[in-house]
Structure 1
Amino acid sequence: MSEDRALETEGWALRLERGLAGAGIDGRRARRLAEEAVAEASDYALPPEEVYGPAEAYARELARAARAAVREERRLDESRSGAPVLRLRDVSKRYGRKTVVRDVSLELGSGQIGAIVGANGSGKSTLLKICAGLVRATSGSVERVENVGYVPQAGGLSPLLTASEHFRLFGSLDGKNERESLVAGTRLAQSLGWRPNRKLGAARLSGGTQQKLNVVLGGINRPRLILLDEPYQGFDQGTYTDFWEQLFSWREAGAGVLVVTHILHDLDGVDWTCELHPQEES
């Protein structure tokens, strides 16, 4: 970094810190937020003002986000009581004469991880799509909270959009502005050991990295219900461990997490399982 760039960055960080303090953020936290913003901007090899805009305006946004986080924490405190975020009663799905899912009932509470397991062809992915509202059940009832994150087994990305553009697109669905979306997405990506390349479209990412992006998009808006369909295809062992740590973090934060898996040792960390079996034509 050139001396001029360093001075600009230092000045921007100081203005941000002062703006945060003026908005009621305590000095230690204001300093930490300024340092984090500078560090995140450096990941993109850009001055922080190019990433976040003027320090004074960004300070107001951060202060507003901090107040919203307090309200969200109160909501999560309430959700940690275990109130259901998903409830299925006698759900079945048929395609013609083929029954794919038969009479499934389950209830997922906030602060729980549930697992759907079963042999290939037992209807695991179909059931998860029913939970997400992507497929209509033939019979039975489905109740879910409104704020839902869904992570597919593959696909679901726009091939020409970069990771950052995906962050902005999905974040906008929750009312986030571009900078808030970028920060939320980057932080989740880092929890998976990934620093997104700001120039590569999704089609140029490896299969494992595309799935990391899908996981980030599933959680970027802090949904109360997170549905994941074996999204760890292509993960190395380190990322696989990080993935489960993120699921545990979501559970600790009060979200309900439902994951499709075929790996038996995954079940050690879940609260309950729902086992499906292949159905015969009738």
Structure 2
Amino acid sequence: MHVNQVCHAYGRRTVLRGIDLDLEPGVLAGIVGENGAGKSTLLKVLSGELQPDSGTVHHRGGFGYCPQEIVLNPALTVRQHLKFFQVAFGLRDLRHAEGIMDVLRFCEYGDVRAGVLSGGTRQKLNLTLALMHDPQVLLLDEPYQGFDWDTYQRFWDLAVRLRDAGRSVLMVSHLAHDSGRLDELWRLEHGVLQGEPTRAS
């Protein structure tokens, strides 16, 4: 993914000021910043949900986007969501989605309506929907909110598997406590990514 001089403002408030970013294949990267720094706005621009005021975003392959705000139909079951997205993505089967569900340990919820799922299980479904078409680039906004410790560990195991399979994973968070798990780390401050990407230790 290549991002060049992306800018965005809400009225008179400029949120993104000339963002430049290169995300190579096989990299697990993160962007941290305070609440309100523009992290979610940046991911919305990168995913195409939001049009930047200026600048360009180029994806080298397909991408998946897991937004912070979970958008599910409470009347549909987990499997009905999967079927809907299967058609949207043009997938032949649900084997990849079922593999992700197995890793995250919620296969038994297939016939449960989204409206009665716990917050953590809804987030598991949210992540599965973003990953089920096996994208080259995965964009994650606060991806493990609501996860218990076991699921949190499974999430990171999954992220490492994706990285090792040559996928690019970019996640944003207002916390930097997971920076040691990342290959590259940026800080979004005053509308710009601070400094060059550095290999996290």
TM norm structure 2: 0.89
- Partner letter of residue 133 of structure 2? N
Residue in 1 aligned with 2:33? 118
Find the counterpart in structure 1 of residue 147 from structure 2.
235
Q: Look at both structures and tell me which one has the larger radius of gyration over its CA atoms.
A: 1
1:176 aligns with 2:88: no
Task: Check the 8 A contact 1:149/1:227 in 2, yes or no.
Answer: yes
1:193-272 to structure 2, matched below 5 A, reads 193-272=105-184
CA contact (8 A) 1:186 1:196 kept: no
User: Is the strand fraction higher in 1 or 2?
Assistant: 2
Q: In the alignment, is residue 144 of structure 1 matched against residue 59 of structure 2?
A: yes
The CA distance in 1 between the partners of 2:174 and 2:163, in whole Å, is 20
Q: Deviations over 1:20-77 (max 9, x none)?
A: xxxxxxxxxxxxxxxxxxxxxxxxxxxxxxxxxxxxxxxxxxxxxxxxxxxxxxxxxx
Distance (whole Å) between structure 2 residues aligned to residue 224 and residue 265 of structure 1: 26
Q: Greater helix share, 1 or 2?
A: 1
* CA distance in 2 between partners of 1:248 and 1:165 (Å): 28
Distance 2:110 2:30 in 1: 34
Matched ranges for 1:45-60 at <5 A: none
Structure 1 residue 201 displacement after superposition: 1.0
Distance 1:167 1:88, change over 3 A: same
Question: In the alignment, what sits opposite 1:98?
Answer: 13
* Shift in Å, 1:98: 0.4
Which sections of structure 1, spanning at least 5 residues, go unmatched? 1-85
For 1:173, the aligned partner's letter is: A
Offset, 1:265: 2.7
Identity %: 39
Q: Of 54, 75, 78, which aligns to 1:160? A: 75
What is the deviation of 1:168? Answer: 1.5
Matched residue type, 1:272: E
CA shift at 1:220, angstroms? 0.5
- After superposition, the C-alpha distances for 1:136-171 in whole angstroms (9 at most, x for unaligned) are 111222111341111011222121111111111212
Q: Secondary structure at the match of 1:150?
A: strand
Matched residues, number: 191
Q: CA deviation at 1:252?
A: 0.9
Structure 2: distance between partners of 1:238 and 1:154 = 22
RMSD between superposed Cα atoms in Å = 1.4
Higher RCO structure, 1 or 2 (CA under 8 Å, sep 6+): 2
3-state secondary structure, aligned to 2:122: helix
Contact 1:91 1:138 in 2 (8 A): yes
Deviation digits for residues 72-93 of structure 1 (CA, Å, limit 9, x no counterpart): xxxxxxxxxxxxxx11111111
Preserved contact between residue 154 and residue 211 of structure 1 (Cα < 8 Å): no
Q: Which amino acid aligns with 1:255?
A: R
Does residue 189 (structure 1) correspond to residue 104 (structure 2)? The answer is: no
Give, in whole Å, the separation in 1 of the partners of 2:101 and 2:107: 6
- Segments of 4+ moved more than 6 angstroms: none
Q: Deviations over 1:194-239 (max 9, x none)?
A: 2242321111101110000011111101001110000211101111
